[in-house]
Amino acid sequence: MLSTMQDEPLSLATLLRYASTFVGDSTVSTWTGTGVRTMTYRELGADAARLANALRELGIGIGDRVGTFMWNNNEHMVAYIAAPAMGAVLHALNIRLFPEQLVYVANHAEDQVVLVDGTLLPMFAQYLPNLKTVRHVIVVNGDASTLSAPEGVKVHDYTELLAAQPDTYDFPIIDERSAAAMCYTSGTTGDPKGVVYSHRSNWLHAMQVCSPSSMGFSGADNVLAIVPLFHANAWGLPYAALMSGASLLMPDRFLQPGPLLEMMAAQQPTFAAAVPTIWGGMLAGLAAHPQDITHLRSVVVGGSAVPPSMMRAFEEKHGVRILHAWGMTETSPLGSVAHPPAGVTGEDEWAYRYTQGRFPASVQARLVADDGSVVPNDGASLGELEVRGPWITGSYYSPDGAEVDPEKFDDGWLRTGDVGKISRDGYLTLVDRSKDVIKSGGEWISSVDLENAVMGHPAVAEAAVIGVPDEKWDERPLVAIVLAEGAEAKADELRDFLADKFAKWQLPERWTFIAEVPKTSVGKFDKKRLRAQYADGDLTVTTLS
């Protein structure tokens, strides 16, 4: 039996029309270093129409990719909604990628046009000669004449381009499963992989961001989007703001703690979103120059795990509630958010808030063991987190139709590569990456848990734990220790230190003392190199009996 409901597609063109009329008085503002440039959503709608007209004149049609190489600002928001609303596909390029990766993703996505911030022109100029599909560059807030373009590439000035266009556009309503935007993962191994969001997925995801179970946006909010628009679908902030009528505050290139705090003092945002590093910097800034930040009703932090000490410092010293969240480019990115259950208080509440949180109804989640069996949500059993749902990717983008990394998908579920446990009441706690977890006799040992525990010993500066082959148990942990300057500790002493924190079978026998833990370009432990050093026999290993 079919329903009688209208078959109305979920469409970002509808969202743009709504935002620029029904909530047209809401605003997006960009910090200039001393104040803000503000446009209403009504003006945003007019500029989006001008940009769409201009892009059409440049030959952009349904499904063509429109790149951006920009800070978070008003003009970036115009592109963010104009491109998908006209049926094109927004591709916000990560300005922090290594040059070869940036060139790779722009070519892989076949970006036809790129909007570039004036301040980023020198950087972009280096990449441009290697961008094979780009035909037009639109310079925003800069001097277009300073860019020398290769043969066949035209350079335009954003303001001039828009000034020549009408402020209306007949934005088409296309199939809701059509591409709206794309984002590449910045995986540490292999080439970046593309994820293509749809109108449907972005609409549903924006509704979820608005839910109090996630970020709870409403027209009363002024949302500070520190997370870059190119990072993991901008955490859904732009479309959720347009949907709820929340206003947006954009930091542009002023991302240091000092300017961010100055902007917050002046603009009093009610909500903010950024990775832990930014909040760590803010805490230090606030310690040096105290400032009331209770205008923030809440702050969402994701991208990597938030240290509990940071959450407590924000709440206890500054009266601001940090929401811990989990997500990834492949999941749009929400994901779970750690709102504690009703009625839970004190340390119990904190324990819930330290978790990665609870999933919304639209994101199905399960934990899967090595043998493919689903493990129970009992708060103890570990498994790889798998998710599915209407805003979870089902594949990676492939221009030629060849499957990319099919092993990342398991019968309709996305394998996240994260290992964790889920409590009976649905809260996720991640303990490791699946490639780092140690599989010992059919049981899993979290390398991260061992690292955190042993780093609590005063003699230990840093510790990295990897799984190494073991004849009896398949794998056992090897602990690589960097001693604190001038400190001394033996392997057996360190193992004794762990004895009351782990089950006996989890305690490591193999220890090595090294000068430093190898690190990736972004400062994470490079366990791949550590494994190679072990395999090559470069490490001196003590084995306790």
Q: Which residues are marked as active site? A: 185, 330, 439, 444
Q: Tokens representing 462?
A: 């840093």
* Total interface residues for its own copies by CB under 8 A: 77
Q: By C-beta, is 393 or 512 nearer to its own copies?
A: 393
| Smallest distance, its own copies to C-beta of residue 187, A | 15
Amino acid at site 287: A
Q: How far is the CB of 335 from its own copies (least distance, A)?
A: 14
Residues numbered 238-257 forming contacts with its own copies, rule: CB under 8 A: 242-245, 247
What is the rounded (10 degree) CA torsion for 231, 233, 239, 241?
A: -30
The binder of its own copies chosen from 69, 184, 326, 396 (CB under 8 A): 396
Backbone torsion region of residue 98, taken as left when φ is above 0, otherwise alpha when ψ lies between -120 and 50, otherwise beta:
beta
Encoded one letter per residue, x for contact with its own copies by CB under 8 A and - for no contact, window 37-66 reads: -------------------------xx---
Strand ranges (DSSP E) for 239-392? 247-250, 271-274, 298-301, 322-327, 334-337, 357-358, 364-368, 374-375, 383-388
Q: Shortest CA distance to 330 belongs to which of 276, 385, 275, 394?
A: 394
Minimal distance, residue 256 CB to its own copies, in Å: 29
Q: Indicate whether 180 belongs to the interface with its own copies (CB under 8 A).
A: yes
Closest CA to 273 of 216, 322, 341: 322
Minimum gap (Å) between residue 134 Cβ and its own copies: 17
Q: What is the DSSP letter of 100?
A: H
| Residue 407 in the binding site for its own copies (CB under 8 A) | no
For its own copies, the binding residue among 141, 198, 329, 446 (CB under 8 A) is: 198
What is the pattern of x (binds its own copies, CB under 8 A) and - over residues 4-33? Answer: xxxxx-x---xx-xxx-xxxxx--------
Task: Report DSSP state, residue 147.
Answer: P
Half-sphere exposure at residue 77, Cβ-oriented, CA atoms within 13 angstroms: 35
User: Which residues 207-236 are close enough to bind its own copies by CB under 8 A?
Assistant: 207-208, 210-213, 216-221
At its nearest, how many Å lie between its own copies and the CB of residue 330? 9
Residue 52 vs 363, nearer CB to its own copies: 363
Nearer to its own copies, 147 or 414 (CB): 414
Q: Which is nearer to its own copies, 244 or 440 (CB)?
A: 244
**Of 136, 358, 421, 457, which one interacts with its own copies (CB under 8 A)?**
358
State which of residues 395, 473, 482, 483 lies at the interface with its own copies (CB under 8 A). 395
Which is closer to its own copies, CB of 230 or CB of 396?
396
Stretch that binds its own copies, among 149-157, 362-370, 432-440, 485-493 (CB under 8 A): 362-370
137 is a contact residue toward its own copies (CB under 8 A)? no
Cα–Cα dist 317/293, whole Å: 10
**Smallest distance, Å, CB 242 to its own copies?**
8
Q: Which of 426, 455, 459, 497 binds its own copies (CB under 8 A)?
A: 426
Question: Rounded to whole angstroms, how far apart are CA atoms 410 and 420?
Answer: 17
Q: Dig out the tokens for 386 from the structure.
A: 């798998």
Query: What residue type is 210 in one-letter code?
Result: C
Residue window 329-348: x/- pattern of binding to its own copies, with contact defined by CB under 8 A: ----------x-xx------
150 phi and psi angles, rounded to 5 deg: -65, 165
Residue found under tokens 């749809």: 198
Site for its own copies in 84-103 (CB under 8 A): 89
User: Phi and psi for 463 in degrees, rounded to 5?
Assistant: -145, 140
Q: Is 364 in the site for its own copies (CB under 8 A)?
A: yes
Q: Does 414 participate in binding its own copies (rule CB under 8 A)?
A: yes
Taking Cα atoms as reference points, which of 429, 402, 478, 476 lies closest to residue 194? 402
Chain positions 462 to 521 lying near its own copies, rule: CB under 8 A, are none
How does DSSP assign 150-165, residue by residue? PTT-EEEEHHHHHHTS
CA 324 – CA 513 distance, rounded (Å): 34
Which single residue is written with the structure tokens 């599989």? 439
